[in-house]
Structure 1
């Protein structure tokens, strides 16, 4: 069953402006160390890389139905990439707690994430699915 669906469209230029204006303070407040390291490896598309991750955080917060309230913080939602490069979410703190709270007993949650960008826009979609345990 589908537990939640969220999407977000983010301006790459807005993220670039925040990086220029607030620098380290903005990055440390919003992005995980893994996300920042990945962006650092892409100097020519750094703002776009971070904008996609920003959109993913927003999309997840919408999918769990809270936004960034009730203990769900941006740094609790991290985008990681699997061996093949597919993006996934690594959740901690309030984000993981909220996902656990909306997952029905006897089920496990599976979070699906897709990211895209076409300058000046970055976009993310999140679908949260509940699957019976042991499946």
Structure 2
């Protein structure tokens, strides 16, 4: 069953401007070290940050809160599997919110997809609840 859906569209040039004006202050406030290392290795640094910004916004919407109610930017983090597929991990208040919205007997799975076509970066997040095997505990990923 679907627990939440979120999407966001970010302007890459706007994110590039914020990076130019605020640099590390912006990076360190919004992005985890893993996200920063990934972005700084890429040819399109601003585009990589913009996609992750959009993913965090989309995730907060899928959680049903937006960026309020105690959720922090770094509570949502995008990384990639070896195949390149993006994955979203949540910690802190975002993880608490995810656990609260996951019905007993289910585990939450966060699906994320990212795309960009300059000057736009876009993300979709779907939070799915999958039934647990009988006898297993409640798990949130």
Residue 78 of structure 1: aligned partner? 77
What SS class does the counterpart of residue 72 from structure 1 fall into? Answer: coil
What SS class does the counterpart of residue 56 from structure 2 fall into? Answer: helix
Residue 15 of structure 1: aligned partner? 15
Partner deviation per Cα, 1:33-62 (whole Å, 9 max, x = no partner): 0000001111x3000000000000000000
What SS class does the counterpart of residue 104 from structure 1 fall into? Answer: coil
Q: TM-score by structure 1 length?
A: 0.97
Residue 5 of structure 1: aligned partner? 5
Determine whether 1:37 maps to 2:34.
Answer: no
- Note the residue ranges of structure 2 that are not aligned, 5 or more in a row: 135-141
Aligned residue runs from structure 1 range 40-59, under 5 A: 40-42=40-42, 44-59=43-58
Aligned residue runs from structure 1 range 62-77, under 5 A: 62-77=61-76
Q: TM-score by structure 2 length?
A: 0.93
Aligned residues: 134
